[in-house]
Amino acid sequence: MEYSLKPNPVNKKLLFCIWASLLSGCVFFFLYLDKGRMTGSTFFFLASFSIVDHSNTSLSSFSPSSLAMSPQYSSTTSTGTAIMPLVSAAPSPMKEGPIALPPQRSEAKSSMVTLDGNQEEHCDIFEGRWVYDKKRYPLYHARQCPFLSDQVSCRRNGRPDSDYEHWRWVPRGCEIPRFNGSDMLERLRGKRVIIVGDSLNRNQWESLSCLLYTSTRPSRVLVKAKGSEYKIFRALDYGCTVEFFWSPFLVKLEEIKGGNKKVLKIDRLHGFAKRWRGADIMVFNTGHWWTHTGKTRAWDYFEKKGKLVEEMNGDEAFSTALRVWARWVDQVVDSTKTTVFFRSVSPEHKLENNHWCYNQTTPITNETYIQRFPRSMVSIVEETIQKMKTPVKYLNITRLSEYRRDAHTVIYTSRQGNVLTMDQQMHPERFADCSHWCLPGLPDIWNELIYVSIVGLNQSHVM
């Protein structure tokens, strides 16, 4: 009987099956020996094996990169608000096990688009919930800060409850470090921080000054003030300063000579601007004063390009002023040396609001969010920041602060430099302050979020 030397199709398939079976046996034997000790590199070694089909000499490969491109593990993210996020979450570590697949996206994480247009996964530290934490909060006690103003010293002014001091902010999907004053002072060694804006930014300055003051020797701290327009905290052992500049519009407001009228020069920056230069950290805000009407309105005329205008669309005036500030930042700030923040609007809980601040001792617990501040102004701020060439970190505290109707100064405050009398306190509908915040209190969390943006989410910290 003669046998042909040509392999027939049946023999070829039989040989291929035998070869494939032997290879599979080797692989499973390897897995048995390795058991649970397989690492990411081992996975890559196995997953990169190629199967050669001799019948058509085509090459098909399986690799982690091809897995990542499949729809189930796609890294493409949805677009969020196009502003620069403060922090990015650390990538999930590869867990040990037989086969380490790329981690699936957590529903607790979202995506934002950075100013350069790149998408990145991050933990949105401004989305979360308030947790009562009497053990670790407040971060300091009011009696430790002798320079706190009467406007924010609620306990000293007779507020009987203190629960508003003990709430901790917990973002969804990540853990943030508790503010560490000693660490912050070291990071600010030889540096200069400026906080520019209205009285809510002065509220924030008092908070940050207290946080740092209680973390160093009081005898080595200088706190000075020039009225309500300029305040400075100086930590002598660290050579650092924290300064507040009163500038509720960021642009110039001045009185017309020879009259009792005021003009808001929407295309000229505040005169303090020359003193803002060179700071290592800048925190700006504006908003509330633009919404005042009637007798509370600070200006009588607008001025643009040297011409007085009695009436102008509010959004147009606000947008013009923001662009002037943005151009100044782009021209003056060296982003390799200076970090710029813009704080979003601080919410109010006035009488006409569904959540009046008077006689409240707990935060709003449901997540129904009603933003009373004009949305168009919020959009103007966000759009202005997006168009800037200098990276600006948006301290988006509006929503998390909206829950804190309990944290306002209410009737335990001062007006025009005088603490409210008992008679005034009996008329909260007229005198309750539902704009400013008690200290210790909510502004401490704003500064804690600035701290997070500096140290990141991966730093070890004392909890």
Q: What is the DSSP letter of 162?
A: -
pLDDT tens-digit readout, 194-223: 999 999 999 999 999 999 999 999 999 999
Q: Indicate the pairing of strand 281-284 with strand 240-246.
A: unpaired
Residue 460 clears pLDDT 60, i.e. is over it: no
Active site residues: 199, 433, 436
Name the residue with higher pLDDT: 365 or 2. 365
Q: How far, in Å, CA of 17 to CA of 11, rounded?
A: 10
Q: Which of 265, 336, 347 is nearest to 298 (CA)?
A: 265
Residue 262 clears pLDDT 50, i.e. is over it: yes
pLDDT tens-digit readout, 145-178: 999 999 999 999 999 999 999 999 999 988 899 9
Residue 192 clears pLDDT 70, i.e. is over it: yes
Kindly report the pTM of this predicted structure.
Answer: 0.74
Confidence class of residue 311 from pLDDT cuts 50, 70 and 90?
A: confident
Confidence class of residue 355 from pLDDT cuts 50, 70 and 90?
A: confident
Is 208 strand, coil or helix? helix
Residues 6+ apart with CB under 8 A from 415: 424, 431, 433
Name the residue with higher pLDDT: 81 or 143. 143
Confidence class of residue 76 from pLDDT cuts 50, 70 and 90?
A: very low
Q: How far, in Å, CA of 116 to CA of 243, rounded?
A: 30
Phi and psi (nearest 5°) for 17? -65, -40
Integer Rg of the chain from CA:
30
State the pLDDT at residue 79: 33
Q: For 423-438, what is the mean pLDDT?
A: 96
Q: Residue-wise over 411-425: b if at least 16 C-beta within 10 A, else e? A: bbbbeeeebbeeeeb
Instruction: Give the residue extent of every domain in the chain.
Output: 112-455
Helix, strand, coil percentages for the chain (3-state, nearest 5)? 30, 20, 45
Name the residue with higher pLDDT: 371 or 21. 371
Name the residue with higher pLDDT: 336 or 30. 336
| Arithmetic mean of pLDDT over the chain | 78
